[in-house]
C-alpha cells in the first residue's frame, strides 16, 4: 500500500475461502460493483488444498467461473492473478511440504491455464518465493517480514504497471 501511495487507492479483501465456496461469485460481484477499480490483483487458491474444499475435478472450472464473474462485475478492471506461494514443512521452512505442495503446484498449473485463456495477467509469486524459502515463517503458509516485503514489492510493481496512464 505504501509503495502505491498517491498512485492508487487500495482495498484489500482477505478471506479463508476457496473457489469451492458457492457464494464466491455473488460476493465478488457485490465487491466489484460497489466501486470502480482500475486494477484487481488477486489470488485465491491456498485455502483450497484440503480435500473436499473444492469438489474433485472442479478446480479449473470453478477458477474460470471466478474469473468470469470478476470480468462481468468489473469489465473495466485490469485483472492480475498471483500464483499460490510455496507451502513449507512446519518448523523446517527451507523444505517444501511433500503432502501439500504437489496440490499447490497442480492448482497453480490449472489456474495458469485458465488465466492465459481468459487474458488475465500473471504475477508469479510462487516463482519469486521458491528460491527464498529461508524467508518462510516456519508455520507452513506464511512469510517472515523480509519475505512479505519481497512479495509486496512485486505486487506493487505489477499493479503500478497496470494502472492507466494519467
The model's pLDDT over 17-46, given as tens digits with 9 standing for 90+, comes to: 888 888 889 999 999 999 999 999 999 878
Average pLDDT over residues 41-60: 86
Return the pLDDT at 83. 97
What the block records as the C-alpha cell of 102 is: 504437489
Phi-psi region of 120 (alpha: psi -120 to 50; beta: other; left: phi over 0): beta
Asked if the model's pLDDT at residue 112 lies above 80, the reply is yes
| pLDDT band at residue 2 under the 50/70/90 scheme | confident
Asked if the model's pLDDT at residue 52 lies above 80, the reply is no
Return the pLDDT at 53. 82
Amino acid at each position: 500500500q505504501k509503495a502505491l501511495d498517491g498512485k492508487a487507492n487500495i482495498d484489500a479483501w482477505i478471506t479463508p475461502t476457496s473457489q469451492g465456496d458457492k457464494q464466491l461469485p455473488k460476493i465478488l460481484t457485490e465487491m466489484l460493483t460497489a466501486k470502480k477499480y482500475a486494477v484487481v490483483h488477486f489470488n485465491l487458491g491456498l485455502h483450497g488444498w484440503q480435500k473436499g474444499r473444492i469438489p474433485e475435478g472442479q478446480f479449473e472450472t470453478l477458477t474460470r467461473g471466478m474469473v468470469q464473474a470478476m470480468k462481468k462485475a468489473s469489465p473495466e478492471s485490469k485483472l492480475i492473478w498471483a500464483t499460490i506461494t510455496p507451502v513449507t514443512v512446519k518448523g523446517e521452512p527451507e523444505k517444501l511440504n511433500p503432502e501439500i505442495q504437489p496440490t499447490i503446484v497442480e492448482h497453480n498449473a490449472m489456474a495458469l491455464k485458465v488465466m492465459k485463456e481468459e487474458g488475465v495477467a500473471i504475477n508469479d509469486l510462487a516463482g519469486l518465493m521458491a528460491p527464498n524459502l529461508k524467508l518462510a515463517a516456519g508455520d507452513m503458509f506464511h512469510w517472515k517480514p523480509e519475505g512479505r516485503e519481497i512479495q509486496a514489492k512485486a505486487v506493487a510493481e505489477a499493479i503500478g504497471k497496470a494502472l492507466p496512464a494519467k
